[in-house]
Amino acid sequence: MQERDGQRMKKRILEVCVDSVESAIQAELGGADRLELCGDLVIGGVTPSMALYERVRESVRVSVHVLLRPRWGDFLYSEEEFDVLLRQTAMYRRAGAQGLVIGCLTREGRLDCERLGRQMEASGGCPVTLHRAFDMCVDLEEALDDAKRLGMATILTSGGHASALEGRAVLKRLKERAGAAVDIMAGAGIEAGAITRLLRETPLTTFHMSGKRAVESGMRYRNPRVHMGLPGLSEYELWRTDALAVRRAREALDRGSGA
């Protein structure tokens, strides 16, 4: 961990997932230790553009970890999709990303260790987080052991449940099994109240949130006959990180750590 990560290595870490420069700035203002940068959070996040990455790096001082995901949906990738992932891994390593966030599965719901090993090699020693593809695995303890062998630094997980609170018993077991080898980072439904409870009931020290809120589009003219996006999603509503939500989570984290 670098920059502000290093300042909090013995405390709690708050990571905020963002997909815009505006959200990155708000996350830092709220007290995030680091960012996970992606594109299109509304569909779960995909690899961001290099232009977005560069502008975010110009705009914030906290560490930026980059999500590598070629498309939305499952984590079973074709040869062509995996080739894109390898190229993205090398590209962001060369660009100086302070962390990479990856995940590939087999048809049977296990980590694709052969492909992930190739990505780890392409990362050139850059710290790597295994994203929530982990939660889609058939055996989380097996997946944790595989992640350890691969040399991953962090696993982002809700314990295989819809939210980290629902999966807190599993998260506790995973943290105990991981020891010091891999950091277990709780994600899904993370906000101030969830952090307070997870600190009380688990040994977790690292948390991942988006803190997003809907922002109305500035468009005055809106053509009601044309829909450009996914069904059910408004084209006149943007999702942005709320600095206040991040600040509340930061305060809950600091109270829990005795800061």
What per-residue confidence (pLDDT) applies to 2? 38
Contact 147, 155 (CB under 8 A): yes
Q: What domains are there in the chain, each with its CATH number?
A: 11-257 (3.20.20.380)
Largest CA distance in the chain: 56
What per-residue confidence (pLDDT) applies to 5? 42
What per-residue confidence (pLDDT) applies to 154? 98
In angstroms, the CA 168 to CA 238 distance is: 31
Over residues 104-145, the pLDDT tens digits come to 999 999 999 999 999 999 999 999 999 999 999 999 999 999
In angstroms, the CA 128 to CA 100 distance is: 5
What per-residue confidence (pLDDT) applies to 235? 76
Closest CA to 12 of 200, 177, 213: 200
Contact 232, 174 (CB under 8 A): no
Integer angstrom CA distances of residue 135 from 15, 77, 105, 121: 18, 17, 11, 23
Question: Which of the residues in the chain have pLDDT under 50?
Answer: 1-10, 258-259
What per-residue confidence (pLDDT) applies to 3? 39
Closest CA to 139 of 174, 114, 166: 174
Over residues 192-217, the pLDDT tens digits come to 999 999 999 999 999 999 999 888 88
What per-residue confidence (pLDDT) applies to 7? 40
pTM of the full predicted structure?
0.90
14 burial class (0-12, 13-18, 19+ CB within 10 angstroms)?
Answer: buried
Euclidean distance between the first and the last CA atom of the chain, given in angstroms as a whole number: 19
